[in-house]
Amino acid sequence: MMTGMPIMGEVMALSTASEPTFGPINRQMSKIADQLSKGYYSFCPGQSWAPSVNLYEAENHYLVCVDLAGVVKEAIDVQVVEQQLILKGSRAVPLRPHPEKAGPEETPSPRFRVHLMEIDHGAFCREVELPDNVMQDHISATYRNGLLWIELPKRG
């Protein structure tokens, strides 16, 4: 696709590629903007990424849903400090599962060249400010299919 753009009275021909030259930089800037839009208080310095969170409210409780696909349940730490729900942990780099080996010989896994890596890995941290009416000593959590569900009962 060719378009004309006036530059000091001249027309310069531009072409659009499927992947812009600065595509990886654009993706990283978008990630930083997303992080900032989640709020200053939900960012933990020194952590590499913050999982996405949904917050719901029902009549008797709040419900927090955290996207932690690929995180081992034992690697998730949930804490409540004052009015903050703090989620910490780590996610390993996703690896291709090995097919079952038929024979006693193990073949080494093939090496891959990375062309695109958008799935965050490494240490994570996310803080969610809790409403004043949460009964902090009755919070429960369930982890299923990569989603962490935290139920926060409301005070009467």
Q: Which of 71, 84, 75, 93 is nearest to 44 (CA)?
A: 84
Structure tokens at 63: 């419900």
Encode pLDDT of 113-147 as tens digits: 888 888 899 999 999 999 999 999 999 999 999 99
> Which of 14-23, 62-71, 122-131, 147-156 shows the lowest mean pLDDT across its residues?
14-23
Q: What is the pLDDT of residue 13?
A: 44
CATH class of 22-94+119-156: mainly beta
First-last CA distance in the chain: 62
Q: What is the pLDDT of residue 15?
A: 43
Q: What's the mean pLDDT when you consider all of the chain?
A: 78
**What is the spatial distance between Cα 2 and Cα 15, in angstroms, rounded to a whole number?**
5
Looking at residues 7-18, what average pLDDT do you find?
A: 43
> Which of 37-51, 55-69, 90-104 shows the lowest mean pLDDT across its residues?
37-51
Residue 54: pLDDT band (50, 70, 90) is very high
Percentage of the residues of the chain whose pLDDT score is greater than 90 = 49
**What is the spatial distance between Cα 47 and Cα 27, in angstroms, rounded to a whole number?**
18
Q: What is the pLDDT of residue 31?
A: 63
Q: Taking the model in full, what pTM does it have? A: 0.67
